Amino acid sequence: MRRSIGALAAAVCTASAAAQPGFTERPEVQAFIAEMTARHGFISKELEQLFERARFDPDVIRLITPKPQGERSWQAYRANFLNDRRIQAGTRFWSRNAKKLAQAESRFGVPADVIVAIIGIETEFGRNTGTFRVVDSLTTLAFDYPMRADFFRSQLEEFLLFAREDGRNVFGLKGSYAGAMGIPQFMPGSYRRFAVDFDGDGSRDLLGSEADAIGSVANFLKEHGWARGEPIAFPASVEGDAYRAFVNSGVKPRYRADALRDAGVTFSSEPAPDTQCVLVELESPDAASEHWVGVHNFYVLTRYNRSTFYAIAVLELAGEIRAARGKR
């Protein structure tokens, strides 16, 4: 049985006849359409019309391409998120959502300040949820970004399923250049798997409900292994050259704390000698590097965003918002 995409079907039927050629004729797109019709019962004609309207966006490719290592700046990245405007907005967000944040912390074990910081970094508390048409971003990345094509094809699949399930107009949904949506910037697969109805209105609305965004961020972290009451990372200092064998070896904690200490790493705290750790170096072209030692919850934060910059920015912004709230 073939299933219509509902709101999508109406949208594609009103497409302008003067629309520019789209992705439809490409063999890899035709193969994707065939998979979607066979696996999920989509109507192939509707998907062909959809991809005729979808547009390649060069800005998506430009923005998602990683900067060369020497051009990345922790100081610039940090300043973008740890500033008075975002900190004060965070205290206001916390105040108006204090009850839901407390409920999320109790239910999922994720501290309120971490939830607030993630939403602050992602969209400045819903102020900027993205201006890119999600269908264009995901189609561009699925078929014209070979580095991660498999991942983005899977997210395009999830997006079409999400739109059908929620009765959404595919062409009306906007988000980030990578296809993330809503107040917490969930990718479509995360939206379908981890979004929760936290305001009790019967829907999982990450586009408009702050409560649903709060519960969904907490649920995402819990489902990825967040350890209640455990730390995230510790500031560190380094001496000599032995530590270089351990630095920037990914994001997963894999070295014992005592091995790092033996290599000249000094922690700001004292985890047990057998605690699994990762040593992170945050580099800036015009400033000395900062070093941090991440533990299990640091790794969990990188499931939200793979960047080490991101995980430490969440930790620091959480602390700043918590401190500012305590002064009120």
Q: Is 273 exposed, middle or buried (0-12, 13-18, 19+ CB in 10 A)?
A: exposed
Q: How far is it, in rounded angstroms, from Cα 158 to Cα 70?
A: 35
Query: What are the structure tokens assigned to 51, written together?
Result: 């991809």
Give the DSSP per-residue string, 206-239: TTT-HHHHHHHHHHHHHHTT--TT---EEEEEE-
The answer to whether the CB of 204 falls within 8 A of the CB of 212 is: yes
Q: How far is it, in rounded angstroms, from Cα 184 to Cα 208?
A: 10
If you compute the radius of gyration of the chain from its CA atoms, what whole number of angstroms results? 22
Q: Is position 165 annotated as part of the catalytic site?
A: no
State the first-to-last Cα distance of the chain, in angstroms, to the nearest integer.
Answer: 59
Cross-strand bridge partners of residue 181: 186
Q: Which of 46, 122, 210, 320 is catalytic?
A: 122
Q: In this structure, is the dihedral angle defined by the CA atoms of residues 46, 48, 51 and 52, taken in order, positive or negative? A: negative
Pairing of strands 276-284, 255-256: antiparallel
Q: Which residues are known to be catalytic?
A: 122
